[in-house]
Amino acid sequence: MAEKVDKEDSAEAGVAPAVTDAVTQANLKTLAEAPAMAMGTVCQSLSHSSAMLFENAVNAQQQNAITAQAATTQCVMTLLGDGGPVQNPTRGKK
């Protein structure tokens, strides 16, 4: 991973040992947090997908209920003879 920098090498290069240590620690912190961030992203994606699944299921149930109600209304209108799509051909003839 990170190479250990001697105090003499960093002094010759003009960089204080505290600076190189801080940079090294920041880089290692970023590397250490990467798996946790990736798992967090996966969990958020899974949660969003599940929410969309349930939203679509509720919408489908609502549409089926509307269709069933419309079909029931149409059947009642046909049975009562109030202008349903299928008219009784013998109605009104004597």
**What residues make up the domain containing 76?**
16-80
Output the pLDDT for position 85: 58
* Of 88, 84, 60, 91, the residue nearest 70 (C-alpha): 84
pLDDT by residue, tens only, the chain of 94 residues: 455 555 555 555 677 887 787 777 777 777 778 888 999 999 999 999 999 999 999 999 999 999 999 999 999 988 888 655 555 666 656 5
Q: Does residue 68 lie in a domain region? A: yes
Q: Does residue 47 lie in a domain region? A: yes
Output the pLDDT for position 83: 59
Q: Does residue 9 lie in a domain region? A: no
Q: Does residue 2 lie in a domain region? A: no
Output the pLDDT for position 26: 76
Q: Does residue 8 lie in a domain region? A: no
Cα(91)–Cα(55) distance, rounded to whole angstroms?
A: 47
* Of 57, 58, 85, 56, the residue nearest 70 (C-alpha): 85
Name the domain count of the chain.
Answer: 1
